[in-house]
Each structure stands twice: as structure tokens, then as C-alpha cells.
Amino acid sequence: MSNKEHSEKVVEQFGEQFLENVEALTGISLEVKEVRLEHGRPYRFNNQMSVFIDLNGSVMGFLSIICKEDSAASLLEIPQDEVGLETREEYGPFMSELLNVVGGSLLEIVNEEYPLVTLTSPRTSFGSLDFPQSQSCSKIFTTDHGEFELYFATDSMSLKVVELLEKVKSQKEAIQLILDTIPSALLTFDLNCTLGEQCSRRGEYFFGDDVGGKDASEVLFNTERDSDDFKAFMNLIPNSPLPFEEITPLAPSRSTIYKGKERLELQYAYSAIYSDEERTIVDRVMLIADDITDKIRLQEEAREREERAEFVHKVLKNRDGYIDFLSEALSCLKVIKKASESFDAESVPAAFRASHTIKGNSSLFGITDLRDVANDLENVLTDIRDGRMQIDEVSIQKVIKGYHALEVVLNKHISESENVFGDIFDPRKLSDERYTIHESELKKLITLSDNPTLLSELERIRLKRIYIYLAPFSDMVRNISLKLGKNIAPLKIEGEDSLIDPKRWKSFFASFVHLIRNCADHGIEFPDERLEAKKPETAIISIKVEECSTGVIIYVKDDGRGIDCDVIAKLALSKKIVTQEELTAMSPKEKQLLIFKPGFSTKDEISSLSGRGVGMDAVLHEVKALDGEIDIESVLGQGTTFIIKIPYLNELDDDVLEDSGDKRMFLRMNSPLYLPTSGDDGVVLGHIVNVSPDGFRIVFKSSSDIAFDESDIIVYIEGLRQGPEYIHMRAKKMNSILLDNGILECGYIIVSFRSSADQICYEDYLRQLHT
Amino acid sequence: MSESKRTIEVLICDDSPISRSLASTVISKLPIPVGINTAGNGKEAYSYLIENKGECDILLLDINMPEMDGIELLREMKKEDTPLPYTIVMSADNVKRTVVDALSLGAKDFLNKPYTKTTLQEKIESAIKSLDSA
């Protein structure tokens, strides 16, 4: 039935009722001569009586009886031009009857100017309404006594509701279809938590297909606690001092349910279905359940990643603090263990303090699981300490359980730290080796977090003070001097704060032993010799480290006898390392350098330090491995200085440096690398120091502290046959070393191109160079 | 309407002195005459309510308190059948259940901590409105 038809029907019914009423009241029989149908709203307020009516609880209507002639008006007993009618009696008997027909009572005069009245139906009060966009319908009844117009209007909103209700009735299947396709589960239950039969397909998937009649608190929730909370909430509804909408935030909004092995995280929203009789009384509750498993999982992962990154960051920043924390935690654990065994007045408060310490420190480092177990234990211990909990079997078990949980989590962290950082962070195995880091493991973590600050932090931590490697030689010098009866001052080390990459330098320092021994053993004279030579009795060996723009220079100096090149030459000849001819052609310097030749063993020569059998060739080998060079400055009788130069370049990965001496360096050395910026010039990132033979790796020295993983750069190339004078490249990977002063010293770029045109240019350029 | 002209007696029950003074400051700024009393835990509030039977109009009640917490106080009042003032319970957001319990025990409204000045004022205003219409 359309809106219009609906309105017409109302008018029809009321018209007939009206005529009957007039006859009953006045004895005048009105015979309908003509019925005209007119649409549109007649704004005639004289001789008009209006009532608001309620059709079916949801549609509000407005019915007017308009007397088109005075004679007709007299039938209604509406006083002409009279205003201010306040009671139903004043409307005369007809009005009273009409009110009876409608079934309401007079509520208020809407408008004093016009005798419009608002009526209440038993159900609702309508208030004052205007119907600017109303659906309306009017019929004119012509009788012997004149014309009456019956006018009916409803507001469109109400009619839409009717329309929808009708649709719901006629299209129940369609609605079910809609319900089944929406991603949320819909179900309803009454205040006793009994579920209704109706359930969307999604709901069937979540909760099974036969939920009707079951207890919602059991179907919707997995834990007793949630079920109880839900029941308490449902019990509150009928007695709630607040409207339903305001207490819904108090209902359990999350639930984890299991479908077989699958874990589903659901989010619940509740809305009220009100009683038909009393619009403020909640009759049933509708539940809208959404699957938020993926969202939760992502959130959890993100949180874990964040915590992990934060943890690494904190540990890197405060390495010693972290070691202390773990040692302290281990000793706290012992205290707790003692308490769990003895349970006396002393050990319980001590254990409380211990778990409190672990809790505080672990939250400082963001180790949440440790913090949580420590917190749980602390709560139990507090209750015992303050006498809220008796010391009995139950509480003892609780403490023991808490202790074991703590032990498990702490050990997990220690072994994890070991995996990541090596033994260094295991306080049980603290040793000199504490400066090795399991870099690959760390990198795995770092890439997870993708945190640039962390990356540079990592680079920093990778580098170690050279002092760490030099310090042990101090002991060695002392030992040698004692053993040989020489008088050598404590080893002097200068420039010990220079940073080096331990991974790369490790074997170098293994060979460095020979160099120092050589000094103490060969270089330094015995005390009587020194006195004879009018030198101070105490000899000095010193190590000085210097950094320059290209690398590190290490000076190892002694004030001993110096290298006698003739002795060296004789020895080399006897060992058949050189021929007499070769010797003749050698300069004194070249003769000195013979000590680095393989086979020029010190073994035969020095007997007092037996069993060494090592040579300086090992030192040379290691220096060469670092692409460095070694030189000797020696003055007979005054001393010797070994000068070892190790370039920075060598601190980069091996593969970059292969064939670094190759002549096919086609990019001009010292060409600047630019980071493009919005301006014309760009930022100078650094200067090229080396290019790999294939032309696709460029090593550069940075002149700024820019650190990045991947970025566009501009490389200026001289001698391009075509195209622009520079090429846009994409720097894929840059390994850089951040020095202590915060400057990014070196990096390399794996060349790739932003456009194929650039690539063609570059390849053409390579061909040009190779031919 | 003359009802609202009289002084509204409010009892703020919270173990944290900062929370108490915060709430009193906010409430005293309302454009109506208010008398404010405070209690540091449920026990104090209980003795105050017994001593001043019927005097207190609004009780702003924290749930987590030492000695006697908010729920225990409500339970006690119910057991003794002492008329409860219009009670607004305050709690941290994660303890829905206790709020449900409080409302079931006769509290009229709740307020999640931390609250804003406006929320508290609105709650107090609607409490006064509800007291006037009663």
C-alpha cells in the first residue's frame, strides 16, 4: 500500500466515522452528495478542528475536519473566531466524541491563534508537530448542510518507517540475505541471556548454527570471568539508573573464542531493542560481533617489534647497565629462592625487595614479560609480608611458582642476549671477549625495527677503542722484561681512543704480538749494555696511534739498539733468503726490510725466549691483508720505529675492495656525490674514493653525517659521450662507519639507476672506457 | 525550581589527596552553592554518611581505595539500609565489572578516570537535575 493510499484510507474511515457521529449527536442525518479527492494541504484554520493521531505506534498523523460553510460549522459547534479553548468540554459534544473515536485525550492547545489541539493517544504524546513535508490527502464531503473537508497528513519520516516495516514483512528473505552477507555477526538475546533463533550466517560461523535458546553468556565468552561480567551487566539492565546507551561501555567488549584450533578475536557492540509497550524498557539486546583477529595480531606484532627495538636500543646505549641489571637480577633470584625455601621473617621481605628490584629494572629496559612475572610475585610477597595472606601450603606454592616463572623468563633473556650480543652480556661468563658482537643476529633485529638511529648506534657499537687490543701488550712487555732480565718501563700507549672494527682487526692484533716481542727481545738491550752505551737504564717501548684522513697509523717505537742492516743481511744470506748479488744491489733500508721476509725466523737467533718460532713475516702478512703498509725507521744505537699504516677503506666489506688496485677506475677520484634536494645544487654527500672493477660499486668518503639505507644520488661523470653530465643513481645499500665524533666516514653505493636512459648512458660510458 | 537554590552537599571520597582537591576545585566552580566534604577511604565516608544522615546529596566515590573500597562501602550501606546519596563512582577504565557492580548496588552514575573538567561538571549537573526532579 502506498503512502497516498494509506492516507486516503485513513480519511475514508474517519469521514464515515465523522458522519455517523454528527448524526448521533445532532440527529441530523448527513447524506453524502459528492466526494471529491483533493491533494495538497489546506491552510484553513477557521472552522477547523484538528487532532493528532497515532496510527500504529510508529506513524503519527494529523487529521483535520474543516467546515467549508458556516452551517456546517454549527454542526461542530465550533464557536466562530473564538480562541483559547482549553478543555475538551469547550469543544462541544462532537469534539468529545471525536476524541473518543481517536482514543486520546486533550493534551494541549498547540497554537492559541488557531484552535489546533494536540491529543495524546494511550501510547505516546506527540508534542507539537508541523508537517512541512507531509504526505497528505483530503476528501470533501458535500452534504445538505454544507461541505466538510477531511484532511489527513502524516509526516514523511513516520511513513518511511511504515514502508520499511512493510518491506521487512514482505522481504524477510531479502533481509536475511543482507544479514548473511554483512561481515558482522548479529544475534539477539533477552535479559535472561537466552539467545534468539535469528542469527546471521557470520554468527553461525562464530558460534555454531543452533544458538537459539542457548545461554548467551556461555556461547559468547570463553572464560568464566567474562561470562560472569556479562551476566552482571545483563542483570544491571532492568535496574540501571542510566539509559542503556550509557551503560553499554561497561559490557565486555572483547572475547576470544576457539573454532577448533583457530583462535578468533571478536569485538562486541551492543544495542537495545526496546519493548513495544514501553519505549524506555529494554526488551532484548542485539549483539554485533566483528572478527578483529587480524587487527589484534598485527597490533601484537607491531607492539612486539617496537618493544624489541626499544630493548635493543636501550641495551646498546647502556651496555654496562644491562650487564649490571642481569647480574643483579641473578642475585635477586637467589634471594627469592632462599625465601621460597625458608619462609622466615627475614627472607620474605628480602624476596619482596628483590622482586621489586627486578620489576623496576626490567621495566627500565622495557622487558615486559620479566616485569610482569616479577610483579605477580611481588604481589604475592606483599600479601604475605603484610599478613593479608597466611603462610600455608597455598601461599608457599604460589611463591615457588613465582620463583620458577621468574627463573625461566630471566634465563630466556640471558640466552637471547647471548644469541644477539654474544657472551658479552652473559654476566656468568664475563671475560675479555666481551667486545664481540654477533652482528648478524643484531642486524636481524635492527632491520625488523627499521630504525635509523639504531643502525648508526649499531655501527658505533661495532667499533671498539683500539686500547682494548693494545692494553694486553703492557703485561706482555712486563713479562718479557722480567724473563729476560731487561729493564723496560711500562708500555706507553698514546691515541688509545681511536676506534677500529674488531672483526677486521682481530687477526692483525694476533700478529702484533710478534712485533712487540721483537722490540722487547731484539731491540732493547740488557741493562749493562745500556749503561755502557750511556743510555738510561730503563728502556722505553711506546705505541702511538694516529688517525689521518686516509686511515690509522700505528707507531711502535723502542729506544733500543736499532737494526743493524749488516747483521740482517748476513743472516738473510745464511738463511738463503737473498743471494749475494741481490744484497749488493740493496739499499740499507731494503736490507732492514728483510726482517719481514718469510723464513727470517727469530727462532735460531734468540735462545733466551725459546719456543717462539715466529717471524715478522706474519706481521707483514696481516698488514697487507688490511691493505696497509709497514715501514721501518731505525737508527743504529738509538732505536727503531715501526710505522704501520692501515687505510680506512679496509674496514669495509671484502667484496667491495677486491682488486681495488685495478687501473680501470673510470669515475674520477674525488668526484663529489650529491644527494638531490629541491634546490639546484643538492647536498654533497661525500667524495668517491674507489670504484669496483665492474663499475657498479662506488666507495665514497662522506663529508656529512647523513646516514641512509636507500636514496637517490647524483654522480657527476666526466667524459660522457652523450646525455647529461651527471647520472641519477639509486644508492641501494650503504655501509657506513660512524666515527666517535659522529661523522660518517665511508660508505659504498651499489649502483642502480633511476631511469633506463641513465643506465644506457652509464653503460655506454663503461664500454667507452674499456675499449 | 526553588530546590536548586539550596546548597548541594557533596562528599568526595578518594584515597588520593590530589584527586580529592582536583574534584573539589572543579565542583566548587559550578555556578551553584555547593558544600564540599571529603573522605580518604570508604570507612571515613561511611561514618560521615551515618553521622549526617540524609544531609549529603551527592557522593563522588572512588572505587579503589585502601581500608574500605567503594564497592564495600556501597555494600555496607545497602546492608544497613542507609539511604544512599546520589552516587557517582569513579574508576579507571579497565575495571568495567566493578562499575557494573556499583550501579547494581545503587550508584546512579559513573565516571572514568582520568576525567575532564567538563565531564565531571556535567555529571554533577545531571545529578542535581535528577535530585530536583525527585
DSSP-H helix ranges across B2-41:
17-28
Do B11 and B56 contact (CB within 8 A), yes or no?
A: yes
In a domain, A729, yes or no: yes
CATH number (domain holding residue A322): 1.20.120.160
CATH number (domain holding residue A283): 3.30.450.20
Min Cα–Cα distance to chain A from B32, Å: 24
Do A509 and A432 contact (CB within 8 A), yes or no?
A: no
**Average pLDDT, whole number, for chain A?**
69
| Order of strands, sheet of B109-113, starting from the edge strand that comes earlier in the sequence | B34-39, B8-13, B58-62, B86-92, B109-113
Q: What is the average pLDDT across A178-190?
A: 76
Q: Is A238 on the interface with B (CB under 8 A)?
A: no
Query: Which tens digit of pLDDT belongs to each residue from A394-415?
Result: 888 888 888 899 889 888 887 7
- The whole-angstrom separation of Cα A304 and Cα A312 is 12
Residue of B nearest to A239 (CA): B104
* In the block, residue with C-alpha cell 564495600: B72
Which residue in the set B97, B104, B107 is minimally distant from A229, CB to CB?
Answer: B97
Instruction: Convert A734-750 into a string of H (helix), E (strand) and C (coil).
Output: CCCCECCCCCECEEEEE
Per-residue pLDDT band for A661 (boundaries 50, 70, 90) equals very low
Find, among A259, A202, A255, the residue nearest to A227 by Cα: A255
Min Cα–Cα distance to chain A from B97, Å: 6
Which contiguous run of DSSP H or E holds residue A11?
A: helix A3-26
Instruction: Convert A450-492 into a string of H (helix), E (strand) and C (coil).
Output: CCHHHHHHHHHHHCEECHHHHHHHHHHHHHHHHHHCCCECCCE
Residues A146 and A237 in one domain: no
Which position has the higher pLDDT, A441 or A697? A697
Least confident span in A95-99, A354-358, A365-369, A482-486: A95-99
In a domain, A172, yes or no: no
What pLDDT, on a 0 to 100 scale, did the predictor assign at position A435?
39
Of A649, A683, A698, which residue is a domain's last? A649
What is residue A292's three-state secondary structure? coil
Residues of chain A above pLDDT 70, percent: 50
Q: Is A242 in Cβ contact with B109 (below 8 Å)?
A: yes
Mutation target among A235, A242, A246 for the B interface, most CBs of B within 10 A: A242
Do A714 and A727 contact (CB within 8 A), yes or no?
A: yes
- The whole-angstrom separation of Cα B58 and Cα B12 is 8
Please give the interface size between A and B, counted as residue pairs whose CB atoms are below 8 Å apart: 34
Question: What's the first-to-final CA gap in chain A, in angstroms?
Answer: 92
What pLDDT, on a 0 to 100 scale, did the predictor assign at position A605?
47
Mutation target among B96, B105, B111 for the A interface, most CBs of A within 10 A: B96
In a domain, A167, yes or no: no
- The β-bridge relationship of strands B34-39 and A746-753 is unpaired
Which position has the higher pLDDT, A762 or A533? A533
Q: Is B131 on the interface with A (CB under 8 A)?
A: no
Residues A550 and A595 in one domain: yes
Residues A637 and A732 in one domain: no
Residue of A nearest to B123 (CA): A242
Least confident span in A349-358, A413-422, A559-568: A413-422
Least confident span in A164-168, A204-208, A275-279: A164-168
Q: Is B100 in Cβ contact with A241 (below 8 Å)?
A: no
- The whole-angstrom separation of Cα A117 and Cα A97 is 15
Q: Which residues contact A517 (CB under 8 A, 6 or more apart)?
A: A476, A480, A609, A612, A614
Which residue in the set B104, B108, B110 is minimally distant from A232, CB to CB?
Answer: B104
Taking the CA atoms of A343, A344, A345 and A347 in sequence, report the sign of the dihedral they define.
negative
Which residue in the set B96, B108, B110 is minimally distant from A229, CB to CB?
Answer: B96
Per DSSP, A522 falls in state I
* In the block, residue with C-alpha cell 663529489: A672
Residues A376 and A512 in one domain: no
- The whole-angstrom separation of Cα A83 and Cα A489 is 123
Do A431 and A423 contact (CB within 8 A), yes or no?
A: yes
Find, among A61, A46, A158, A161, the residue nearest to A104 by Cα: A61
Neighboring chain A residues of B109 at a CB cutoff of 8 Å: 241-242
CATH number (domain holding residue A127): 3.40.1550
What pLDDT, on a 0 to 100 scale, did the predictor assign at position A737?
45
Q: Is A242 on the interface with B (CB under 8 A)?
A: yes
What pLDDT, on a 0 to 100 scale, did the predictor assign at position B102?
92
Q: Is A240 on the interface with B (CB under 8 A)?
A: yes
Residues A476 and A456 in one domain: no
- The whole-angstrom separation of Cα A732 and Cα A656 is 14
* Greatest mean pLDDT among A210-214, A331-335, A731-735, B69-73: B69-73
In chain B, residues 14-73 whose CB comes closer than 8 Å to chain A: none
Q: Which residues contact A203 (CB under 8 A, 6 or more apart)?
A: A185, A186, A187, A211, A289
Residues A310 and A453 in one domain: yes
Find, among A536, A545, A498, the residue nearest to A739 by Cα: A498
Predicted-complex ipTM score:
0.86
In a domain, A470, yes or no: yes
- The whole-angstrom separation of Cα A520 and Cα A536 is 15
Residues A526 and A489 in one domain: yes
Find, among A320, A332, A314, the residue nearest to A368 by Cα: A314
Q: What is the average pLDDT across A595-615?
A: 54
State how many domains chain A has.
5
- The whole-angstrom separation of Cα B51 and Cα A550 is 87
Residue of B nearest to A253 (CA): B96
Least confident span in A313-317, A398-402, A422-426: A422-426
What pLDDT, on a 0 to 100 scale, did the predictor assign at position A428?
45
Per-residue pLDDT band for A60 (boundaries 50, 70, 90) equals low
Find, among A27, A24, A76, the residue nearest to A47 by Cα: A76
Q: Which residues contact A452 (CB under 8 A, 6 or more apart)?
A: A707, A708, A709
Residues A274 and A221 in one domain: yes
Looking at chain B, how many residues does it have? 134
Min Cα–Cα distance to chain B from A238, Å: 10
Which position has the higher pLDDT, A231 or A385? A231
Residue of B nearest to A252 (CA): B96
* Greatest mean pLDDT among A41-45, A330-334, A710-714: A330-334
Per DSSP, A345 falls in state T
Residues A24 and A151 in one domain: yes
Helix axes A172-181, A156-170, angle to 10 degrees: 90
Residue A555 has pLDDT above 90, yes or no: yes
Per-residue pLDDT band for A16 (boundaries 50, 70, 90) equals confident
Min Cα–Cα distance to chain A from B68, Å: 14
- The β-bridge relationship of strands A34-38 and A711-716 is unpaired
Residues of chain A above pLDDT 90, percent: 5
In a domain, A640, yes or no: yes
Q: Is A567 on the interface with B (CB under 8 A)?
A: no
Residue A138 has pLDDT above 50, yes or no: yes
- The whole-angstrom separation of Cα A366 and Cα A362 is 6
Do A207 and A225 contact (CB within 8 A), yes or no?
A: no
CATH number (domain holding residue A576): 3.30.565.10
Q: What value does the CA radius of gyration of chain B take, rounded to a whole number of Å?
A: 14
Q: What is the average pLDDT across A668-695?
A: 55
Which contiguous run of DSSP H or E holds residue A69?
A: none
Q: What is the average pLDDT across A135-151?
A: 67
Q: What is the average pLDDT across A259-272?
A: 87
Query: Which tens digit of pLDDT belongs to each residue from A709-722?
Result: 455 555 555 444 44
- The whole-angstrom separation of Cα A627 and Cα A651 is 10
Q: What is the average pLDDT across B95-122?
A: 87
Least confident span in A617-626, A755-764, B48-57, B107-116: A755-764
Residues A433 and A485 in one domain: no
Of A420, A435, A460, which residue is a domain's last? A460
- The whole-angstrom separation of Cα A386 and Cα A531 is 78
Helix axes A502-518, A616-625, angle to 10 degrees: 160
Per-residue pLDDT band for A613 (boundaries 50, 70, 90) equals very low
- Residue B114, preceding bond cis, omega within 30 degrees? yes
Per DSSP, B38 falls in state E
Buried b (16+ CB within 10 A) or exposed e, A751-771: bebeeeebeebbeebeeeeee
* In the block, residue with C-alpha cell 636512459: A757
In a domain, A396, yes or no: yes
In a domain, A169, yes or no: no
Min Cα–Cα distance to chain B from A304, Å: 22
Longest dimension (CA), chain A: 159
In a domain, A617, yes or no: yes
Of A649, A666, A682, which residue is a domain's last? A649
Phi and psi for A141 in degrees, rounded to 5? -100, 125
Range of the domain at A73: 3-161
Residue A318 has pLDDT above 70, yes or no: no
Least confident span in A6-10, A291-295, A490-494, A517-521: A6-10
Residue A554 has pLDDT above 70, yes or no: yes
What pLDDT, on a 0 to 100 scale, did the predictor assign at position A366?
72
| Order of strands, sheet of A135-143, starting from the edge strand that comes earlier in the sequence | A34-38, A135-143, A146-154, A60-67, A48-54, A116-120, A105-111
Per-residue pLDDT band for A476 (boundaries 50, 70, 90) equals confident
Neighboring chain B residues of A241 at a CB cutoff of 8 Å: 103, 107-109
Residue A740 has pLDDT above 60, yes or no: no
What pLDDT, on a 0 to 100 scale, did the predictor assign at position A730?
58
Residue A272 has pLDDT above 50, yes or no: yes
Residue of A nearest to B102 (CA): A236
What pLDDT, on a 0 to 100 scale, did the predictor assign at position A686?
65
In chain A, residues 202-231 whose CB comes closer than 8 Å to chain B: 228-229
Mutation target among B69, B94, B103 for the A interface, most CBs of A within 10 A: B103
Do A244 and A265 contact (CB within 8 A), yes or no?
A: no
Q: Is B103 in Cβ contact with A232 (below 8 Å)?
A: no
Do A273 and A282 contact (CB within 8 A), yes or no?
A: yes
Inter-CA distances, A291 with A256, A267, A286, A305, A431, Å: 10, 6, 17, 23, 52
Q: Which domains does chain B have, with CATH numbers?
A: 2-128 (3.40.50.2300)
10 Å CB burial of residue A215 (0-12, 13-18, 19+) is middle
Residue A78 has pLDDT above 60, yes or no: no
Residues A320 and A452 in one domain: yes
In chain B, residues 101-120 whose CB comes closer than 8 Å to chain A: 101, 103-104, 107-110
Do A80 and A67 contact (CB within 8 A), yes or no?
A: no
Min Cα–Cα distance to chain A from B98, Å: 9
Which position has the higher pLDDT, A586 or A12? A586
Q: What is the average pLDDT across A138-159?
A: 65
Q: Is A247 in Cβ contact with B104 (below 8 Å)?
A: no
Q: Is A250 in Cβ contact with B100 (below 8 Å)?
A: yes
Residues A375 and A412 in one domain: yes
What pLDDT, on a 0 to 100 scale, did the predictor assign at position A245?
87
Min Cα–Cα distance to chain A from B110, Å: 9
Residue of A nearest to B91 (CA): A250
Residue of A nearest to B95 (CA): A250
Phi and psi for B97 in degrees, rounded to 5? -60, -45
- The whole-angstrom separation of Cα A279 and Cα A123 is 9
* Greatest mean pLDDT among A63-77, A258-272, A437-451: A258-272
